[in-house]
Amino acid sequence: NDHFFFIETREAVPNIQLITDIGKKAVYKHGCNALIIDPYNEVSAKREGNVREDEHIRDFISILKRFARVYENWVAVVAHPTKLPKTTDGSYLPPTAYDISGSSHWHNQSDAVLTIYRNSEDNSINVLTRKIREQDLYGKIGQVKFYYDLDRKCFIEKSAGDWDDFTV
């Protein structure tokens, strides 16, 4: 409760204006320095005139980037991919930002892109850094594998030699 404030809009489907207005209030009232929109597909997709979906997403991302700069906030959007195609062996490849429904702007405009991929074969979670605009300043491209430890009720990173007392 000291670090997270959950905001829900029960009366209406939120649009980007409502989200940034609430975000501004949270910055001033609580000193918030991060905004996470989860999930994107529950944000209003209403567009005026003949605005295409890709233009709507472009503007959505631009507004959030401006919010981040002006209010010195870290902003993340959880956006789900379209249905991924199966490989020849019946498995799925980890998604990229280009697999997110709606537009390549998710990759092109974002400063950083992470994808989370559940590998059902070994019950692991892979976190893949797909894009870092300024590598070495903000991070680098790579991946890490986690497993859920039932005893400790947390995800732990898989590294060599860690697994003697691990319970899946």
What does the pLDDT look like over 68-121, one tens digit per residue? 999 999 999 999 998 888 889 888 888 989 999 888 999 999 999 999 998 877
Supply the pLDDT for residue 136. Answer: 85
What pLDDT does residue 5 have? 81
Place of tokens 């195609």: 85
Q: How many CA atoms lie within 13 A of 132 on its CB side?
A: 12
pLDDT value for 159? 65
Please give the residue that has the higher pLDDT: either 91 or 38.
Answer: 38
- The pLDDT value given to residue 17: 94
**pLDDT score of 158 more than 50:** yes
Assigned token pair, 112: 């950083």
Helix axes 16-30 and 53-70, enclosed angle (nearest 10):
10
Q: What is the pLDDT of residue 106?
A: 94
Q: What is the per-residue pLDDT for 160? A: 44
List, for residues 126-152, the tens digit of each pLDDT value: 999 999 999 888 889 999 999 988 788
Examine the pLDDT at 166 and tell me if it is beyond 50: no
Q: What is the pLDDT of residues 14-28, one digit of tens each?
A: 999 999 999 999 999
Task: Please answer whether residues 19 and 58 qualify as being in contact, where contact means their C-beta atoms are separated by less than 8 angstroms.
Answer: no
pLDDT of residue 163: 45
Average pLDDT over residues 39-61: 93
